[in-house]
Structure 1
Amino acid sequence: MKMYKKILCAFGAAACVGMLFSVAGMAEAPAGAPATESAPYDEDTYGPEKDIVWNKPVPRVTFSHKVHTMDAGLSCDSCHDDIFPMEAGASESKDDFTMASMLDGNYCGACHDGSTAFHTNSPDYCASCHTAPGTIVFTKPVKAVVFDHKMHVEDYGFNCTSCHSDLFKMIIGDAEKDEQAFTMEALYQKKYCGACHDGEQAFASNTRCNTCHIGVMGFDRMFSDANAPKKEGH
């Protein structure tokens, strides 16, 4: 009789465990059920899906319609046509399409004023729109000198306003235009790179020459066709 009771208890326990697993299984999606798919992006409602990339007045500035419409809840007429004409390239062609103009509340600055959205001159948000170039190669007054944005930003923690626009204007080739001013002597007077490379904040600009100066041969190695992948042929 005792053995019979033990068997009944064992079957009862097994049944309870089975019921628990059955209930748990009911809460799960059935095997083979298709994954839930998000609704397709509607360009008529949210604007072009592909990011806009402006290259004037500075290159590689991106704008995402999705972030502003689908995510932030703006509509097309929030910007068009009072702030931006709805014609590709129309803003870039205007002389006042500059950071200074945005600081005056024009273009992106109409909302990016520090109140409605982050300020256009906030150093913490430069990379939200601006894609920093990789290595810059100066060829004047001497050929060639390299500057690595990635090293200064990611490794040493600088941001765009650390150099722009007090030390360097954010315009490609601007420093090189004035060969009389953009010189090693100017660096020794704490101008341009010399503002930091003074021997205290960073190595002095009259030391460790090969860190920046790669010379003509280095320039040729960077840009010559010899470095291009060789084409396979018969």
Structure 2
Amino acid sequence: MKWARAAVLVMLSGSVAFAGIGGGDVTMKNKGGDTVFSHENHVTGAELKCQDCHAKLYTNTKQHKAVTMKAMEQGKSCGACHNGKKAFSVKENCESCHKK
């Protein structure tokens, strides 16, 4: 599950380094501690396809806006999968995604 730990805050503003699978890593800077979303870990590790997320959650760059933890807990952004059923919940293991 280490691959999934970086996914929780993918929608909190950050910079994108387009390299590797599906655009590489996305780093989000935030008050709770920076997070890194790895496209490679989600594509290879979780065996997701681009359309699993980009057809439903992230259809264009205008949708890539800051999302609160409360919104994620309600199924927005990372919380759509990280709900404790499909993948670990955004409500637990904060340090898995937030690095100080």
Q: TM-score higher than 0.5 here? A: yes
Match of 1:61 in 2: 35
Question: Could you say which residue in structure 2 is the equivalent of 1:47?
Answer: 22
Residues 49-72 of structure 1: CA deviation (Å, up to 9, x unaligned): 3x2011257551210111100111
The one-letter code matched in structure 2 to 1:91 is H
TM-score (norm 1): 0.32
Q: TM-score, normalised by structure 2?
A: 0.68
Equivalent position to 1:91, from 41, 64, 68: 64
**Aligned partner letter, 1:100:** K
Which of 85, 88, 94 lines up with 1:115 in the alignment? 85
Structure 2: gaps spanning 5 or more residues:
1-18
Q: Deviations over 1:78-115 (max 9, x none)?
A: 1114212442x8423x5xx1100000011000000000
SS at match of 2:23: coil
Aligned length: 82
SS of equivalent to 2:27 = strand
C-alpha distance 55-85 of structure 1, shift in aligned 2 (>3 A): farther
Per-residue CA distance 1:28-76 (angstroms, 9 max, x = gap):
xxxxxxxxxxxxxx94xx3123x20112575512101111001110010
4+ aligned runs moved over 6 Å, structure 1 = none
More strand by share: 2
Please state how far the C-alpha of 1:128 moved relative to its aligned partner. 2.4
Matches within 5 A, 1:9-158: 43=20, 46-49=21-24, 51-56=25-30, 58-87=32-61, 90-92=63-65, 94=66, 97-122=67-92, 125-132=93-100
SS of equivalent to 1:116: coil
| Structure whose CA Rg is larger | 1
Q: How many Å separate the matches in 2 of 1:75 and 1:120?
A: 21
Alignment-derived partner of residue 8 in structure 2: none
**Amino acid in structure 2 at the alignment position of 1:118:** F
How far does the alpha carbon of each residue in 1:171-226 deviate from its partner, in whole angstroms, 9 at most, with x for none?
xxxxxxxxxxxxxxxxxxxxxxxxxxxxxxxxxxxxxxxxxxxxxxxxxxxxxxxx
